[in-house]
Amino acid sequence: MGGRNGLSSPCLPRLPFLLFLLLLSVAVLTVAASENENKGSSLSASEAEAAVSRFREYLRINTSQPDPDYDAAVRFLRAQADDLGLESDVLEFVSGKPLLLLRWVGRIPSLPALLLNSHTDVVPTEPLKWAHPPFSAALDPATGNLYARGSQDMKCVGLQYLEAIRRLRAAGFAPDRTIYLSFVPDEEIGGNDGAGRLAASEKFQEMKVGVELDEGLASPGEEYRVFYGERSPWWLVIKARGAPGHGAKLYDGSAMENLMKSVEAVRRFRAAQFDLVKAGMKAEGEVVSVNLVYLKAGTPSPTGFVMNLQPSEAEVGLDIRVPPNANTEALERRIAEEWAPSSRNLTFEFKHKVSVHDMFGKPAITPADNSNPWWMLLEEAVKKANGKLGKPEIFPASTDARFFRERGIPAFGFSPMANTPILLHDHNEFLNKHEYLKGIEIYESIIKAFASYKGDAKDEESRAEL
């Protein structure tokens, strides 16, 4: 109808209609705000809030070296396991260093198990250099960043395992393979009393692990980083000796002169390796890295050092990281002939030296191509959860995964943290809560795929049922 009668209908008066539009707009904005608050995640607002709350509770437990509160961490994690109906056992290979082992029994126990490993300890902090106390788990409401030591390395991953299992159990999923979760001590000081002891134990043999997942690194970009091997640590000390002399005397063969020649040779090698990384010819994990960690020389005095005395001894400590495909024989020759030749009164000693090979004499790497079904499953599972893996890499440092690769077990380092600066061991370490929640879904997809994979194994249990 036209005219004045068309402006006001008895079925829809003008004022109520405007009120209806206003209420509709508020509802739309509320829904949009809720979706934005939980962006990139299928978790409901209440599920997300509960998951973040549990993560913050774990982060507040001070497990920093050298005096980590392992007992508090185990109590918290065991309570989570009880809530999820998982079997739990506390192993203590070394007194005072508890290892929590959880188990979700699979439908086909004869299949090799899936091991999800994480460490409970974290590195020390310098609290005065943090914007928030490092164990407060402070959450910035404006950015969603959650600040805490361990937020990236690697309490996030341990809790994401549990949260993913929480969702799988709620959905009624039943794994074919048995799933183990290990929360181990001491990774930050070498891991020998934690994952190292576990991997060498009779208990581990009983577990029949077929594949292991461990920690990775954050990625500043959109793609998740994944690691199929890691560099082995060689901690080297070079010592120089020579006759002491007056501080004003010039002569050849002093301890300091001999050591400085070695340091210069090391510096040249380091620069050459680093140039390959800077030029984009190799990734950081593919070169031999060498860093000076200390210099020790001089004759102490009450006010510092004796300044008119050339010392008879001097030494340097080097942190060397060797990729699994490196020519280790050539590197050792370089050390003996160029860095520390006996002809210059130099000696060397390895304080710690990890082999780049597994127990079968092969490079300790896990194939990350189509020849490995676990790699294909991982890639597809991440894709299914709307994520994407970057090019597989060699981890530039060391993780607990090496203890399992040494035994020929496939192992991948993977921490689902995209769009995140790498802040492990740094001040103001943080992880955005949205990335944390997205990581839960990524692990849900991975665990489901890995635990359902049967490969060529015969389903004897199902056959018996038939």
User: What does the alpha-carbon distance between residue 207 and residue 412 come to, in Å, rounded to a whole number?
Assistant: 18
**What residues does CATH 3.40.630.10 cover in the chain?**
45-230+363-465
Q: What is the pLDDT of residue 463?
A: 40
Concatenating the DSSP letter of every residue in 184-208 gives: ES-GGGTSIIIIIHHHTSHHHHHHT
Across 113-133, average pLDDT:
98
Grade residue 42 by pLDDT with cuts at 50, 70 and 90: confident
> pLDDT tens-digit profile of 322-342?
999 999 999 999 999 999 999
3-state SS class at 121 = coil
Residues in CB range of 28: below 8 A, 6 or more apart: none
Q: What is the pLDDT of residue 129?
A: 98
User: What does the alpha-carbon distance between residue 392 and residue 153 come to, in Å, rounded to a whole number?
Assistant: 20
Grade residue 196 by pLDDT with cuts at 50, 70 and 90: very high
Concatenating the DSSP letter of every residue in 275-292 gives: HHHHTTSS-GGGS-EEEE
2 or 201: which carries more pLDDT confidence? 201
User: What does the alpha-carbon distance between residue 195 and residue 93 come to, in Å, rounded to a whole number?
Assistant: 10
Q: What is the pLDDT of residue 11?
A: 46
> pLDDT tens-digit profile of 399-444?
999 999 999 999 999 999 999 999 999 999 999 999 999 999 999 9
Calculate what percentage of the chain has a pLDDT beyond 70. 89
Long-range contacts of 126-135 (CB under 8 A, 24+ apart): 126/427, 129/427, 130/427, 130/428, 131/428, 132/428, 134/429, 135/59, 135/60, 135/61, 135/62, 135/64
> pLDDT tens-digit profile of 343-384?
999 999 999 999 999 999 999 999 999 999 999 999 999 999
CB 207 within 8 A of CB 195: no
Residue 177's φ and ψ, nearest 5 degrees, are -85, 150
- Class assignment of domain 233-322+326-353? alpha beta
Residue 436's φ and ψ, nearest 5 degrees, are -60, -45
**What residues does CATH 3.30.70.360 cover in the chain?**
233-322+326-353
Residue 138 pLDDT > 70, yes or no? Answer: yes
45-230+363-465 is classed in which CATH architecture? 3-Layer(aba) Sandwich (3.40)
Which residues are known catalytic residues? Answer: 121, 187
User: What does the alpha-carbon distance between residue 185 and residue 196 come to, in Å, rounded to a whole number?
Assistant: 10
